[in-house]
Structure formats: C-alpha cells, structure tokens
Structure 1
C-alpha cells in the first residue's frame, strides 16, 4: 500500500526535467518482477515445497531492497527546499516546515478530482481486463495454452508502454500524452468485443497489448501529474488520497464484472464498460489546461 507513494516521492524529489523517464524506469521494476517471480516461485515450490515460495518472494526484498534503500536512498535536494531556505534564511528542512501548506486548497480543486476520476475509471477497466482476459479468450473458444500465449503480450506491452510514455511526458503536454495512452485500452477492448475463435492470434495479441500499454501509463503518469500541477510540498498526502481511491475502484471493479458476467452470461457488458471508461477517463484529462512551468533547471 505504501510502495507507490514512497518510491515516487523520492523520484519526484530528485528529478525534474527527466522525471517522467525516471518514474517509468523505477515503476518498470514491478513488471520485471511480475515476469521473473512466478517461474521462480513455481520452481522453488516444486523443488522444496510451499514454504520455499514464500522465501523466494521475501528474500529479495530483505537481502537486496532493504540494504540498498538503507544506504543509498536519501531525500532529494528538491528545488522547493532551496527556495524555502532562500526565503527564510534557514536550513532547508527547517524552512520547509515553516512553509504554509496548500493541501486544503489542492484537495478541493477541480483539477485534483479530474485526475482522480480519470485514473479510477481507467484502472477499474484495466484491472477488470487483467482478471478476465484469459477467461474471455477461453469463452471465445481458445484453448488454455492459446489464451495464455495471447495474454503474454500484456506484460511486454506494459513495460514498453511505461518507458515510451515516460519519455514522451518529459517532452510534450503531459495530459495529452496521458489521454492518448490511457485511451488505447478502449481500442483493444473493441477488437476483443468483435473477435471470435477465427480471429488471428496476432490480432488478439495486439488487442491485449493495447490494454497493456494503457496499464503501463497509469501510475507513473499519475505521479507525474500530481507533482507537476500541485508541487511537492503536499505530494505524499495528495498522491496517497488518489491511490486510495484508485485502489477502491480496482477492488470494486472485478467484483462488479463478476456480477455482470453472472447476470448476462457473457463478457459484452464488461467490454462495453471498459470501452466507455477508457474513453471518458482520458477525455477528462484534456480539461486540465497548461501545466505549471518547471521549477528550476535540473535532471
């Protein structure tokens, strides 16, 4: 629950002009772990038993992440600290504490809630697709092996989409890039809605990949937009609220989708929701307007 907030806050403190790519690279770690851990866990369980799977999941964090974080992760200098210190003639940390918080104003702002609603709509749709794509493909008539092969394009597209979008938001209007990337799952869902067992596997894989690109353009863009539009003074609280709302949506979504399938007996309503959410959500971002200028030259 704290992973995205803590890691992205450090990245936003240390990077300004290349913040999008920095966030993308760091958040790709979850995609790499998702690709490497399952085979490793399966191998350990088959060789030593169920308890070995928990060791494979826990040991990397204990022997790699914890020491690296302890020795190398430090709070960034952050231009807001330097500006506060210059204005108050005090040490940066003390000056930062003296700065008035705009949290109440930010949390009531229209732009903050546009970001929240947009991300929640897209995440609820993407999470629904992640949990239902293989059953959908099986329902279409594909074998378990064929469905798994088609779905394998999701992970690679997620990582590639995250890196490409990170590069783009450093150079172009971030809400526009975000809207385009987050709208791609609607195209993928539309393809799946019209597909059947005769549809070429390459086209099905492309549809799933479009959903993956949208999934890769979620949290790094969310972190970028919060930092760019509201600054870093209240970043942790604002991004924490946003992630809380998004998590609630991602929990409710699969339950609602299961109810839809039980009621209708097919995936048409699920796909219709995903198409609509991945059109409306991205369009909302286009109303954010010009993003504030970067604070100071830097990395």
Structure 2
C-alpha cells in the first residue's frame, strides 16, 4: 500500500495517519455513551416516568461503575482479536444499545441501557482508539494521539446540540434510534474496510518504517512490550494506576458541582457555563501542544506537570469570588485537563510497549471510569454535612499532591533478559535483584 501511494503521489504517505483519522472517529462516535450526551435525555426520563433525579443519577452511577469494572476484559479482547474486529463488533453493539434505550419503560431497563452505552460508548470506543494508535506510532505517538483526541472534543460539542435538535424534532425515543443508525451507517463500514491492526500487518513498521527492509534498530523505532502480569510486578504500574484515578475523581467532581460551587460564591449559572465552555476551548490547542511536547519531554515529567496544574486549579477555585478570578481558574483548569487527556494516553504504551496495550489500557480505563463515577459523591456529602464546599476543596487538594509524588516515583521500568533468555523486570514491587537506576536507563519517550 505504501508503495502504491508513493507511485501515485510521488511521496511516501504513512497509512498511520488514516488510522489516526479513524481513531478520532471512534472517539467521536463514543458520544452516545458519554455523560455530555446522556445528560440531555435525563429530564425527559424524569418527566415521562415520574422518577426522581436522585434515582436516575444513582442508576447512572451504578451502571457506570459496573461498566468500568468490565473494561479490562474488553482490553484483553482487543489484544486477542485486534482493533479492527473489535471496532466493528463494538460499534454494532453500541448501535443495538441505542435501539434498546429507545424502548426503556422501567428502572431495570434504564439500568441495562445505561450499562451498555457506558460500557460500549464511553469505555470501549475510547479504548479502541487509545489501543490502536500506539501500534502505528512510537516517535510521533503524542502528536498522533493529540490529533485523534480532537474527535472527542468535537463530539463533546456536537452531541448535546444534536440531541436537543433530535429530541425536539422526533422525540427522545426516536432520537436514540437515529443515533444508533448514525453509528452503524457511518462508522462501522469505515472500521471494517480501513482499520488495520498494526503496520506489520501490511508490511510496514511504526513511524512510516519499511517492514521489507533490514533497518538498524534504534530506541526510536523499537520498544519492549510487557504482559499485564509482568507490568503488575513493577512499582510503576501501580503508581500509574493511582495517577489514572485521581483526575477522574477531581475533575468529574468539580464539573458535576461547579454550578453549586459558583452559586456559593455568588457567581451566576451563566458564569459556570462559560467557564466550562472556556475549559473546552482551551483544551483543544493545549492538547495539540502537549502531544508535540511529549516528543521532546519525558512523559513522567509531563505527568507531574498535570497534577501541579490540578493542584493550582483547586487553589484558584477557592479564591474565585469574582468573575475575573473565575476566568483565571478556568484557564488553568483547562490547561491541566488538556494535558491530562494526552499524557494519560501516552504513558501506558511508552512504559509498557504495544503488544499488550489493550489489556493494560483497559485496566487504566477502568480506574478512570471508577474515579469518574465516584467523583461527585464526596462533594455532595460535604455540602450536606458542612453546608458548603470549602472544607472538601481543601481535602481534594491532597489528591493531586499524591499524584505528584506517585508520578515522581513512577520511573519507566526496564525489562532485562538473563542468560537463559527468560525475562525479568526491574522496578519490581518485591525485587530479587539489585536495584537498577532507572534514571540512567533509556527513556521510553523518544
């Protein structure tokens, strides 16, 4: 394929960029399973069935938690069957889940519907994207992931507006049906015909290398892959899992309660909505910049910077008693979330390689989803107990502090091979060999 493109165009076109576009579409079509899309339907459930908001919210959180626990198995299926087959299966299943949601008449059906769109949309479609791109890129991995992330950003802007129009025009039941048709008509065929699981499948190598040529190996084009079992023996794996859960708890909690937090500071609903829009706008250029920066800076240092920004955001929020201060908070928070979106996607393949990235990313995604499901709870409890958010915001500041410490200690692990060619890992939780100074080891980031 690379040879044909070179003959037709006069230059060598890297098929990996087609993969990036498809990964962006995967993130875009995760929309029906995302909270920004589902939130448009909530009031219609409450109005039509007379259910309380707390009941619907509780079912949504429970379904999200259960879906998060199962994402590890989705990741293993991606490793076993490949991203192409899983993208086709998951997209068809997501379309069926949308169809099911159009028939909801009871709380049990609502739970089942929420569970499947969260598992297949928010979890699996995003996981396929994050597992596919690392197969095709090593040196330009951050750049590729940042471009694909645009699909998710556009999705967060498009689906709320699309859902409002669909519901006002056709009703909420028909809207679910149309969303399913949209997925199966637009994404599924593209996934079937265009996705390739890895560059090696079509005779290439990552970063536009020629798979038919004997090239000199270099740290930029070769990387070691770890199984889940091997990765779990390293200290860094568990520290990174802790890092994965913290942004979900903090950012989701703040987003869920931001209107109430601003009201406590005598800031309007419009101000809260404006800040949320501001963070999304800032996130786009920051995502691109972070992706480019990750080609030059170790991902470990970028992860520390993410939590430093999160810590500063929480501090600024407590001082946001007037609009200008709230805008400063929104800018810093948007920068932090923009970096976090890319850094957490890059860190896993950079530390543990490509071969088993589906399974490893599945565990990470489970932590992220679990943190997102639990995030609003402590702020809600604190408001009921203390009548405000000041105390819990100070407590929340301890989370990014833990993240900074964890990221600082999570050095890239080094796999070594003994004389009998059996693999061992350094940075082990219970090391049986002398400690290796991982700061002097070649970085997984080029």
User: Shorter-chain-normalised TM-score: which range?
Assistant: 0.7 to 0.9
Q: Does 2:198 correspond to 1:68?
A: no
**Residue 223 of structure 1, aligned match among 325, 345, 366:** 345
What residue number does 2:251 align with?
126
Distance 2:193 2:442 in 1: 34
Q: Does 2:170 correspond to 1:48?
A: yes
What does 1:51-200 correspond to in 2, within 5 Å? Answer: 51-55=173-177, 57-77=179-199, 102-196=227-321, 199=322
Deviation at 1:215?
2.3
Deviation at 1:71?
1.3
What residue number does 1:91 align with?
none
Tell me: CA distance 1:265–1:60, structure 2 relative to 1, closer, same or farther (3 Å). Answer: same
Q: Secondary structure at the match of 1:171?
A: coil
Task: Assess if the C-alpha contact under 8 Å between 1:16 and 1:294 holds in 2.
Answer: no
Tell me: CA distance 1:232–1:267, structure 2 relative to 1, closer, same or farther (3 Å). Answer: same
Tell me: CA distance 1:63–1:210, structure 2 relative to 1, closer, same or farther (3 Å). Answer: farther
Distance 1:102 1:10 in 2: 17
Task: Assess if the C-alpha contact under 8 Å between 2:225 and 2:356 holds in 1.
Answer: no
Q: Secondary structure at the match of 1:218?
A: helix
Deviation at 1:143?
2.4
Task: Assess if the C-alpha contact under 8 Å between 1:150 and 1:204 holds in 2.
Answer: yes
Distance 1:38 1:47 in 2: 14
Tell me: CA distance 1:58–1:214, structure 2 relative to 1, closer, same or farther (3 Å). Answer: farther
Tell me: CA distance 1:161–1:181, structure 2 relative to 1, closer, same or farther (3 Å). Answer: farther
Deviation at 1:217?
2.8
Tell me: CA distance 1:36–1:48, structure 2 relative to 1, closer, same or farther (3 Å). Answer: same
Name the TM-score, length of structure 2 as normaliser.
0.57
Name the TM-score, length of structure 1 as normaliser.
0.83
Q: 1:208-248: per-residue Cα shift (whole Å, max 9, x none)? A: 23223322333432231111111122211111112212222
What residue number does 2:329 align with?
207
**Structure 2 spans left out of the alignment, 5+ residues:** 1-122, 214-223, 412-438
**Residue 232 of structure 1, aligned match among 354, 358, 366:** 354
Q: 1:39-67: per-residue Cα shift (whole Å, max 9, x none)? A: 12112222232234325543442222212
Tell me: CA distance 1:13–1:189, structure 2 relative to 1, closer, same or farther (3 Å). Answer: same
Task: Assess if the C-alpha contact under 8 Å between 1:165 and 1:181 holds in 2.
Answer: no
Tell me: CA distance 1:65–1:249, structure 2 relative to 1, closer, same or farther (3 Å). Answer: same
**Structure 1 spans left out of the alignment, 5+ residues:** 87-98
Distance 2:162 2:290 in 1: 29
Q: 1:118-165: per-residue Cα shift (whole Å, max 9, x none)? A: 221222111111111122112221222232223221211232332221
Distance 2:244 2:227 in 1: 22
Distance 2:181 2:340 in 1: 28
Tell me: CA distance 1:268–1:7, structure 2 relative to 1, closer, same or farther (3 Å). Answer: same
* Pairs aligned (count): 278
Task: Assess if the C-alpha contact under 8 Å between 1:116 and 1:245 holds in 2.
Answer: yes
Deviation at 1:101?
6.3
**Residue 264 of structure 1, aligned match among 383, 386, 389:** 386
Task: Assess if the C-alpha contact under 8 Å between 1:18 and 1:170 holds in 2.
Answer: yes
Distance 1:146 1:240 in 2: 36
Deviation at 1:74?
0.7
Distance 2:238 2:156 in 1: 31
Distance 1:242 1:169 in 2: 20
Distance 1:14 1:215 in 2: 25
Q: Does 2:366 correspond to 1:241?
A: no
Task: Assess if the C-alpha contact under 8 Å between 2:298 and 2:443 holds in 1.
Answer: no
Deviation at 1:174?
1.2
Task: Assess if the C-alpha contact under 8 Å between 1:228 and 1:292 holds in 2.
Answer: no
Q: Which has the higher contact order (CA 8 A, sep 6+)?
A: 1
Distance 2:179 2:382 in 1: 34
Larger radius of gyration: 2
Deviation at 1:294?
5.6
What residue number does 1:94 align with?
none
Distance 2:406 2:149 in 1: 24
